[in-house]
Amino acid sequence: MTKVIKSAPKILVVVMSLMAQNVFAQDDKNSALQSLPSTAAQWQATAKQDIEAAYQQSVANHPGMYDSYNPDFPKLLESAKHQGLALAKQVINAQGYAAAIARFNTVLQDDLNHH
């Protein structure tokens, strides 16, 4: 069980990276580029939406939610969400979006890597 839980943040990073890269994916490249957020408000809303979705997916599917050896995981996940959302409020572009998503992931990784 420990190996699964320690590898889960790595899986989450991959999933979040794919979400970030494909959040606006369309059938053709021109449509995809036209669909990207173009204002700070749109980037902020997208970052918030994706962090909330990652949180909900983690609550529903992460083994840490049921791990009796890691009873603080739900609090850690909540902290990751709050920190990611706090940074999402400052997002103005794609780099800021990536930073907000990374904050969510880093909070989880840092704590789980110390166990």
d(CA 64, CA 12): 12
The two structure tokens encoding residue 22: 């494909």
Handedness of CA 95, 52, 58, 19 (dihedral sign): negative
Count of CA atoms in the C-beta half-sphere (13 A) of 105: 20
Amino acid at 35: S
Helix spans in 1-115 (H): 2-22, 29-35, 40-61, 73-88, 94-113
d(CA 78, CA 108): 10
d(CA 101, CA 111): 16
What digits encode the pLDDT tens for the residues 26-77? 455 555 566 899 999 999 999 999 999 999 999 999 999 999 998 999 999 9
pLDDT at 14 over 50: no
Answer yes or no: are the C-beta atoms of 97 and 45 closer than 8 Å.
no
What digits encode the pLDDT tens for the residues 75-99? 999 999 999 999 999 999 999 999 9
Burial bucket for residue 9 (CB in 10 Å: 0-12, 13-18, 19+):
buried
